[in-house]
Amino acid sequence: MKSDRIVLLPENLPNSIKNFVGKAIENPQVHLIIYTHVKESTLNFLTLILAKDTNENVMNALQAEVCNLNAFSKYQTLISINTCNTLSKEKYVHFSFLQLHLHPKDVIYADNSKRWNSLFQNDYATKKENALARFKKHTQEVQEKVLEAITNFVKPLAAEQDYENAHKMLLNMFSYHVDVLKNMLLPKVLHYHFNEQQFRELISKYYPQFSRTLKRIDVIKKSHFVNDAHCLITLSPELTFDKWIQRVVALQTHFMKKLNVFYQQKLEVPIAEAPESDTVLLQKLALFLSNYLKLDAVYILGKKSNSNPEVPGSCCFNILLLSTKVKVQQHDVIARHVAMHFKGKIEVCCLIHNSYWLQKNQQTMQGFISDYLVSKNRIYLKQGWVHNNKVFISQRNADVLLQKNNYSQERLNYITPCFLAFQQPNLVYQVGHVVLLKNMFQHLVLALLYQRMHYVPDMFSCTYLMQLLKAFLPEVYQKCITTNNVRNILALLSIPIIYLPQKEQVSAHNNQEVFAQALCFCEKLFNEIQITNN
């Protein structure tokens, strides 16, 4: 299976259609499947795009399954089987249908992540103004063809007083406009599945705004020129037929205006982002990360909902990236790229390790590995990548608990002298105290991570440790610090220690309030460790 294959089946997809899609995607000739719910309607489209050299037997087999499925009657879903002969002048879907119904967000299967672009990017307008201008130009060209046909074929017959054939030819002009409507609402392969009566029923049920116009066309088509000529006894046949032409052209012009209004209204309706399940979001995240980075495996470790107040439905995933190429120092860049790609809807906090980290730390981080690095949490695995994932299951829980207590006590032994240094009465904080605060903060967070998760990261920068504390131990983070203080405390802890001589004396950080906030924060973290130990 290709690593960049997309499979995103909606949860609301009926089971029988899911089974059909699941079977179809096993066929290597199926390139793309798009499931579209028509805006402000109950109608759905399932559009399959197959390779241009698809075997006829494959096409017939799929079409037979579609017939047996009877999805239109049961689920109001129109299924079309198309071949992507992109070199053909006549595309299998008209650009107007593509623009309204085949959006990139509606792709539920693609044999590779660039398939939609390779097929449609030249025909799909990302700007609404361009899409509307193209459709207006298209309808104008159709009207010009109609007027040209009337001039070249209808009027010469009328001039010869062959009004019967001229009348038939005139009524055939309506087919141009009905084709515009069909092209906009249906894939071309489905045009032949609906006769005139069935198409009118489809319009009446799902697009009632066009029903009245189609009925007026039917009334005109059922009328006979000879009968009307007898009624208009005050007019000559020539003038009567001119009235007919004016009547037909006026109705066609009105029809085209309605089509343009409808098209514009549909374009102006925002393409709603349907609520996506965690499974779908994780599939998209895994696909993006595997294309963007050289990864061996990705594990999901947790999730926080509504992580970005400005983006409804946003979430932040805690993930573990295993790779021999990606370094933990790239964390902020990766997180920024993910947020930009998903427009704030998905954010990540990453644990990043070398692929051999598992084997190296199986004994010292047994609890973390056995709790989190399980198959149900794995959302990506590089094809052909194997690792020795032997876990020491025989290790007793008492041994893990002993490891946690010993590590926590070691951290406390490091920071206890630092706390004592801050116990002096009337202490005025100096820049040198930053070294002590930074050291205390690092050891405290490491102790908490190991105590609660049996895990120690590979990077100890204060900013990264604060991110891990917030993402993986949110209850401790919220209990010990307020959001307003985080930036000031991190700025204090990030003050560089200068070892080389400077031309000018560096001004000392003398904000006593921030020093007090940082010390209070460390004391609360210390208390959390003590509570757990006791």
Averaged pLDDT score across all residues of the chain: 85
- Residue pair 428/456 in contact (Cβ under 8 Å)? The answer is no
* High-pLDDT (> 90) share of the chain, %: 41
pLDDT of residue 254: 93
Rounded alpha-carbon distances, angstroms, from residue 98 to 47, 130, 247: 11, 14, 32
The pLDDT-based confidence of 298 (bands split at 50, 70, 90) is: very high
What is the spatial distance between Cα 266 and Cα 36, in angstroms, rounded to a whole number?
Answer: 14
Mean pLDDT to the nearest integer, 487-510: 75
What are the Cα distances from residue 531, in Å, to 212, 284, 367, 408?
Answer: 75, 40, 20, 12
> Assign residue 296 a region: left if phi > 0, alpha if psi is -120 to 50, beta otherwise?
alpha
Chain segment 316-372, per-residue pLDDT in tens: 999 999 998 999 999 999 999 999 998 888 999 999 998 788 778 878 888 888 888
Amino acid at 283: Q
Average pLDDT of the residues in 41-48: 93
Q: What is the pLDDT of residues 224-254, one digit of tens each?
A: 765 444 444 456 778 888 888 998 999 999 9
Who contacts 179 (Cβ-Cβ below 8 Å, separation ≥6)? Answer: none
Task: Please state, in angstroms and rounded to a whole number, the distance separating the CA atoms of residues 227 and 373.
Answer: 83
Q: What is the mean pLDDT of residues 18-37?
A: 91
CB-side neighbour CA atoms (13 Å) of 227: 4
pLDDT at 390 over 90: no
pLDDT at 273 over 80: no
Greater confidence (469 vs 367) lies with 469
Among 114-118, 150-154, 272-276, 284-288, top mean pLDDT goes to 150-154
CA distance between the termini of the chain:
51
Is the pLDDT at 167 greater than 90? The verdict is no
Q: What is the mean pLDDT of residues 29-37?
A: 92
User: Which tens digit of pLDDT belongs to each residue from 48-96?
Assistant: 999 888 888 888 999 999 999 999 999 999 999 998 764 344 567 889 9
180: confidence class by pLDDT, cuts 50, 70, 90? very high
Listed range (162-171, 206-215, 328-337, 490-499) with the worst mean pLDDT: 490-499
Integer CA distances (angstroms), 163 to 99, 192, 238, 511, in order: 41, 31, 9, 98
Tell me how far apart the alpha carbons of residues 369 and 363 are, in angstroms, rounded to a whole number. 9
Q: Would you say residue 272 has pLDDT above 60?
A: no
What pLDDT, on a 0 to 100 scale, did the predictor assign at position 241? 85
DSSP symbol at 298: E
Please name the residues in contact with 14: beta carbons below 8 A apart, sequence gap of 6 or more. 71, 74, 75, 77
Q: In what order do the strands lie in the sheet with 30-37?
A: 6-7, 107-110, 30-37, 44-50, 77-83
Which DSSP symbol is given to 88?
A: S
With residue 10 as reference, give the H or E element that holds it. none
Give me the pLDDT at residue 227, please: 43
